[in-house]
Structure 1
């Protein structure tokens, strides 16, 4: 049995998963991520936390046949990651970057080497799951929105502050606005300062998504599927589900879209 170990080092979280050769990135079974986990990306900077992570993974899994990863947290994070398993020194680490080639998908980015590797991995993950005109949203520290055509062309996308960054910027750069707390009554126009902030930040995110959907239609690539990943995925998916203008879209919150992309790429580059 072949085993692939996958890592996604984001600005906030380090995520990992192990998958068997009998599985495919298109699989939707619940047990797909039977071996998986997530910790703070900052933990990689701590020798103690690295030792704990390495010990946990090595004791949980058999030796993998390959390790694939993507990282947007800087070179030091990559070095710390690759120091985890000295006992597996014969395994090649394969890094997916923004200009990594993938059969069936290409990007129109002016300089693909500057395309965020997490965005590119999410595009590849989305392609593994569906082959229609797709909007790919990664709602994490930043919110990224990318358009992938049914023809396999990535038409670019947008990067905007994530929900927490928007909320914290209001707290940090104004004299009287507090750090808002999400609650169940945060719907529609806010009737309190707290709910006005939560609703306003949600509206900014949803407005960008709605504009992306409209723009894709004008480009003759009307969106049929929306994949949403990241820490705020369920929030945005729920809010989008309330919109009557998006009722015809297939909107789905999914975990591990970036990991799926790394996996799909690794299968093409064993």
Structure 2
């Protein structure tokens, strides 16, 4: 029997075997707002314990938990904790701090250095963690994908996808890509610069999420860690009290 990690996000579903304190090979599927294809669901693994993190809609979360409960002996859902694995969350009410952000910090803390963690999914999230595991808070904004979709919804002549980044674009698609990607990059860079002022040194930058690859060429010395949330879920799993694991 084996233990598996499941990350149900707003637009993607990822899973991987639990290997020690990290995620193994990751599989990622896109999913719709409410359902996932039946043939893919039949291909899900089964085993002993399923560790689950979800920020998806409640209906989709309940549906996925029901499926996993039929394939695993036990299903354990991760919740944000004020303190865990050496990390102390800045929010006065930890329940209001997204579990995906919390798990990303758990994984980032393993580096033992100050880090800015940027997640690029449906939202753009940015968090600062110092070398002692203290979370200094963060930001939430629209990701480039969400910006494009919102602009298209208000002005249908603006394409929701396409275009290439340019500092000064000379057509609409490129200008949209440049503006939306550039806005995300600027917010990440400002956050990192302000973190350096706060800490007295420039923290490392970790980037994850489905929209991260498009930003990586624009972010100097950033580290792309696509499995950051699943790695954090693995750390959460092994740091639970023995009686609850």
Is TM-score (shorter-chain normalized) higher than 0.5?
Answer: yes
Q: 2:226 is matched with which residue: 252, 255, 270? A: 255
Q: Is the 8 A contact 2:166 2:175 kept in 1?
A: no
Residues 169/44 of structure 1: CA separation in 2 closer, same or farther (3 Å cut): closer
Q: 1:43 to 1:15 in 2, by over 3 A?
A: farther
1:151 to 132, 135, 160: 132
Per the alignment, residue 203 of structure 1 pairs with 182
Q: Judging changes above 3 Å, is the alpha-carbon distance between structure 1 residues 55 and 100 closer, same or farther for their aligned structure 2 residues?
A: farther
TM-score normalized by structure 2?
A: 0.89
Assess, with a 3 A threshold, how the Cα gap between structure 1 residues 216 and 86 changes in structure 2: closer, same or farther. closer
- 5 Å-filtered alignment, 1:119-268, equals 119-128=101-110, 130-174=111-155, 176-183=157-164, 186-220=165-199, 222-241=201-220, 250-268=221-239
User: Cα offset for 1:100?
Assistant: 6.2
**Distance in 2 (alpha carbons) for counterparts of 1:126 and 1:211:** 20
| Structure 1 residue ranges without an equivalent (≥5) | 242-249
Q: How many residues align?
A: 241
- Residue 40 (structure 1) aligned to one of 14, 27, 30: 30
| Deviation by residue 1:66-114 (Cα, 9 ceiling, x = unmatched) | 211111113322221122245546x222111223641311111121110
Residue 108 in 1 paired to residue 108 in 2? no
The 3-state SS of whatever aligns with 2:44 is: helix
1:57 equivalent to 2:38? Answer: no
8 A Cα contact 1:10 1:41, kept in partner: no
Compared CA separation, residues 172 and 82, structure 1 to 2 (3 A): closer
Secondary structure, aligned partner of 1:3: coil
